Amino acid sequence: MLAAVALAAEDESYADDRARMVQTIEAHARSATDALGRDHIDPRVLAVMNKVPRHEFVSEVYGEEAYGDRPLPIGHGQTISQPFIVALMTDLLQVGPDDVVLEVGTGSGYQAAVLAHLVQDVHTIEIIPELAEGAGERLELLGYDNIRIYTGDGYYGVPEPAPYDAIVVTAAAHQVPPPLIQQLKPGGHMVIPVGGGFALQHLMLVEKDADGGVRTRQTLPVRFVPLTRGT
């Protein structure tokens, strides 16, 4: 599994860039103790960030910036998130190797690829057909066989494989979508940016207890593109 990913990650021309990216993530984590509850990102997450070839998930135009500390355009008004934010959101999900995860907002497929190394299965939904198709082709070429992509309105999640051990939303919603809360397994975690599009937003951690009760906690102020809805 993921043999092509391993080969891509061994590309020496990007190895130093990935190492510097991970060092930057670690530095950010030391100043984000309120969000994490500690001063570091899970080492398992850092190891994956140092493995997944981020340059494969951006346009060649941005190849030299692929491991920089900022989001990059991926077309259709969407972006690939800043590496630290990807690492932070992945960390907050607290996933394990037997987990099944839902991602809302496939984009280029990078967040799904990171999660695929840490969980059993990733289900990811994208409302823009061209992005969903491109991500599918990219992930297949890289050898990912535990990611399933859907095209549709992510506000409603993907009910059929639910409930999920964790849910990650990679675009800002005005509120936590009730269908996603319903699809979250008791004991599960959801990470979602909440706030106005291109205005003040906060990364929210949503936890569902064993009795179905829901707790939310604000972590960091963030800026995501708005969650695109169907018409």
What per-residue confidence (pLDDT) applies to 38? 83
pLDDT single digits (tens) 146-167: 999 999 999 999 999 999 999 9
What per-residue confidence (pLDDT) applies to 51? 94
What per-residue confidence (pLDDT) applies to 180? 98
State pTM to two decimals.
0.93
What per-residue confidence (pLDDT) applies to 3? 55
Two tokens, residue 22: 């991970």
Between the CA of residue 128 and those of 29, 73, 107, 192, what are the distances in Å?
A: 32, 15, 8, 19
**Residue in 13, 31, 81, 108 annotated catalytic:** 81
Residue 31 known to be catalytic:
no
What per-residue confidence (pLDDT) applies to 34? 78
In CATH, the architecture of 3-222 is 3-Layer(aba) Sandwich (3.40)
What per-residue confidence (pLDDT) applies to 197? 65
d(CA 45, CA 146): 18
- Which residues of the chain carry a pLDDT beneath 70? 1-12, 197-199, 231
Domain boundaries, the chain: 3-222
